Structure formats: structure tokens, C-alpha cells
Chains A and B, each alone.
Chain A
Amino acid sequence: MSAGARQGPPKKLPTRGAYVLCLYVAGETSRSITALANLKKICKEHLPAGYRIKVIDLLKNPRLARDHQILALPTLVRQLPYPIHKIIGDLSNTERVLVGLDIKPVK
């Protein structure tokens, strides 16, 4: 899991309406691996318009936490589309992730 690893279809800039997601982790822990697996699964199923996942390992550079004011790890940040959203945890609750990413409206 390297910082800035690209996942998903496009290698070019994200298209209009595509999601840019940053997953902040602390090394290759079971929670961070679970979080990435859950995220990939959710994106594949619910984001047909395209997405880009950036994995940022704060163990290598903790200062990167400043960019999105990260408090706990793992944290998923929806960087695009605006506004920014954050979801903390291993993303095992799909409903919560979909609501958090604004893919699904709040009930």
C-alpha cells in the first residue's frame, strides 16, 4: 500500500462527477487493509461514474495529516466532489459509508 496509489478506471484527471477519495492509514494494519477492501467494494458497486482512491500512509509522513486535519486512522476523506466529507473507521458499515459519501441520502 503506497502513498498515492491509484485505483479504479481512469489514469487521467477525474471526470466531472467522479469521486476522489483519500484513505488515510497508519501502515498495513488489519483495519487499514479491511478499510481499503471495503472501500474498493463500495466504489465498484456504487460509483459507476468513476472514482480515484489515494491511499496516504501517515506512518511514513505524519505531517500529511495537516491537509485534511486527520484525527484518527483509518479515515476516508471525500476530496471531490465538494464539500469534503470524512468517515472514520474500517468502513465496514456500508450504509454509513454511502450516507457519508453522499451517495445515498440520509434516512
Chain B
Amino acid sequence: MEKTSSKPVRVARKRSATRLATIPSPATKPARKATKLSPEAEETLNAIRAGQVDALVIRRDKTDQLYALRSFVEIERTQEKLKTVGAARRRSQAQLKALAEERERLMQDMHDGCIQSIYGARLHLEACMRLMETDPKKASIMVAEATVALNLVIQEMRSFINGHTLAVPTGDDLRLQVTRAADAAAHHGLSFSIEIAPEATRQLSSEQSYQMLQITREAISNAVRHANARSGIVSLRKLRGGVQLEVRDDGSGFIAGGANKLGLGLRHIAARARKLGGVAKITSAPNRGTRIVVTVGKA
């Protein structure tokens, strides 16, 4: 019994040893051999190269019943057609890609720009409704602010129609726009402190300023709409090799579960940061508020 059972084991060991011995290491693996052509195929190729062939015989099916000729002129024409079709396809793919990018940009700008401005106007008007009976004077100020916000929306919409983004000058204007967004939030009981370093705004190009403003507006809007926050901070500071924007609130927060679980607004924030060659870090936890940090290099 022992004898019969030991034999197969020995054989198996022997086989596995053989297998191990024959497996080539990647370094010694021989290069793939070129396909060797039959003498007739070789001669056909030589004749084609010498320009002595009129046509090729194409066998259309495996039953040897259908044959057709393809003249070389026809083959060359087909190749030219294929090249043209390929080039057209590549062109249309590039156009589609450009259209998709443009659509994405418009979506971002509409979401973070126009919608936030309209939302700001709505906040003003809601505050105005509350104040109409108790403080009509302040209510009229709020209406005026809402009008300013709506004028900004009209300006932004005109920019989109004309196909260019709204230029936001660097420096104090950025501070002004951020303050305006924070003021709108203040009407809903959310107080933001703003710390914008002038040397940081000077580092930003017009495009970077615009993107930073949209990120800030989106973050403030989220704090008002979703987080039920009471206070927050917007800070823009200069780093050694760039600028860092931080928007923090003390709201309800959320469970941060990866980029694919982020809402549209937060995805746009990340996309805008990437567009600037920077990175957005979003940290949040339930009842621990939300912190958005966007770091971009020097313009």
C-alpha cells in the first residue's frame, strides 16, 4: 500500500522540478521570432514591392466558392479612404472632447456662479421679508442689495452668452466679492470671518482669482444650505510656493466617503482646483463641521 502511494508523489515532484527548471526568467526570455513566410508569399511580396502586381485574389469564404479580385489601384484608394475616415474620426473625437469640456465648464460656471448669485439674492429677499414689518428701512437696504446681486447674475449670464468667463480682478476686488458672499450668508445667521492677505491676492492671476472666488461662494453656500452652521472662516494666505484658500464652518458636517460620494458642488470645487494645477482637500465629520483647503502654485 505504501509502495503504490509513494510512486505518484515521486513522479509529481519530478514533474514540478522539471517545470521549474524550464520556466525562463524575464531577463533570459527569448525575443519573439518574426513570422516566417512561405516561399510563395515571399515571392508575392517581392512582386508587389517591384510594382509587378495588378491585383490580389481575395478568398471571401472558407468554402473556396467565392473569389474576388482587388486591384492595387482599388486597394490604394481604399487605404486613402480609410486614412481620410480615420482623420475625420479623430477630428470629430477632438471636437466632441472640446464640447464636453465646454459643457463641463458651463455647468461649473452656472452652478457655482449664476446659481450662487441667485441664491445670494434669494437670501437677501428672505431676510427682507422678515424685516419688512419690524424694520422697513433695513428691509429697503436688503432689497437694494438683492438688486445688486441680481445685476451680478445678469452680468454673469451675459458673459456666458458671449463665451468668456467673468474676469475678477485680483486684490481688493476679490476681497469685496468674498465679503459680499459672506454678507449674504450673514442674513441667515451664519457669521463668517474673512482673513484675506493682500500679498496672497497679488499672487493670483485673474483666472485663479475667479476660480478661488467660485470655490469660496460654493463653500459658503453649502454651509448655509446644508450644514446649518453658525460661524465660519474664509482665509487666503500666501505660502512659500503659492497660495492657500481655506473655508471652514462649524456645521453638521458629513461623512466624507471618497470623491465619488461627494455632491456636485464639492466635485466642482475639486475640479476647479485641478484646473488651477492645485489640489483641494475636503475634510468633514458628522457634527464636526467641514474644512475645505485649496492649495495652488504661484501663477
Interface string of B160-202 (1 = CB under 8 A from A): 0000000000000000000000000000000000000000000
Closest to B41 in A: A71
> Which candidate, A1-9, A11-19, A47-55, A59-67, is the interface stretch facing chain B?
A59-67
User: Once the chains are docked, how many angstroms separate the CA of A1 from the CA of B235?
Assistant: 91
Interface 1/0 per residue, A25-44 and B, CB below 8 Å: 11101011000000000000
Cβ contact of B53, chosen from A27, A63, A72, A92, cutoff 8 A: A72
**Interface of A: prevailing SS:** mixed
Least CB separation from A25: chain B residue: B54
A72 touches B67 (CB 8 A): no
CB of A106, distance to nearest CB on chain B (Å) = 13
Residue B260 at the chain A interface, CB threshold 8 Å: no
B56 partner residues in chain A, CB cutoff 8 A: 71-73
> Do B67 and A62 have beta carbons less than 8 Å apart?
yes
Task: Determine whether the beta carbon of B57 is less than 8 Å from that of A62.
Answer: yes
User: What residues of A have a CB within 8 angstroms of the CB of B59 in the complex?
Assistant: 65
CB distance from B156 to the nearest CB of A (A): 67
Given contacts A31-B52, A73-B53, contact A88 B47 (CB under 8 A): yes
Residues of A at the B interface (CB closer than 8 Å) are: 25-27, 29, 31-32, 58-59, 62-66, 70-74, 86-90, 92
20 residue pairs A–B, Cβ–Cβ below 8 Å: A26-B71, A27-B54, A31-B53, A31-B54, A62-B67, A63-B65, A63-B67, A65-B57, A72-B48, A72-B55, A72-B57, A73-B56, A73-B69, A74-B54, A87-B43, A88-B40, A88-B44, A88-B46, A88-B47, A89-B52
